[in-house]
Structure 1
Amino acid sequence: MPEVTIRYFAAARSAAGESSATAEATSISDLITTVSVDRPELARVLTICTFLLDGERATPTTPLHAGAQVDALPPFAGG
């Protein structure tokens, strides 16, 4: 299984309690499940996030490769 880095922003960072983490995952969906184990607030926030894989928009089924960087971007409010 490839090891990837996930970077958290805004509410995702707050829910995770850290700015980034590494995990082994084969897809965005798998990554969400892996980093959310025993962290219900993070799981909730990640369900509403947009994800970027190496700077390109990704979907839950997007496959991951070793060394990938995934950004978790929750909806932003304000103006």
Structure 2
Amino acid sequence: MPGEQTRSPVTVRYWAGARAVAGVDEDVLDGCATVAQAAAAVVRLHPGLVAVVPVSTLLLDGRATSGDTALPAGAVLEVLPPFAGG
């Protein structure tokens, strides 16, 4: 239909504690136009991520990003929680 936008799937990859909470390495999402929409979608899929996503660095195709950033077709969004170490 005119004016309708179709979004290509976006792959969301989880690292470290995010992976442990989600219980999967990655998800493929449809219909997310922005990073914020994808973040909300993964929290709906894996409610335990509600505490992890807000403190995580989100990488869009390898670069740090923010919630209002548009998701291009075929993008990879990574959830990288903070972790301690030395």
Question: What TM-score, normalized to structure 1?
Answer: 0.91
Structure with the bigger percentage of strand: 1
C-alpha distance in 2 between matches for 1:71 and 1:19: 10
What amino acid sits opposite 1:2 in the alignment?
S
Q: Tell me, which stretches of 5 or more residues in structure 1 are unaligned?
A: none
Aligned length: 79
Name which of 45, 64, 67 aligns with 1:57.
Answer: 64
Question: What TM-score, normalized to structure 2?
Answer: 0.84
Deviations 1:1-35 (A, max 9, x none): 23100100001001110011100211111001111
1:43 match: 50
> After TM superposition, where is structure 1 displaced by more than 3 Å over at least 4 residues in a row?
none
Change (3 A) 1:38 1:66: closer
Q: Percent identity?
A: 38
Q: Tell me, which stretches of 5 or more residues in structure 2 are unaligned?
A: 1-6
CA-based RMSD = 1.2
C-alpha distance in 2 between matches for 1:49 and 1:76: 10
1:78 match: 85
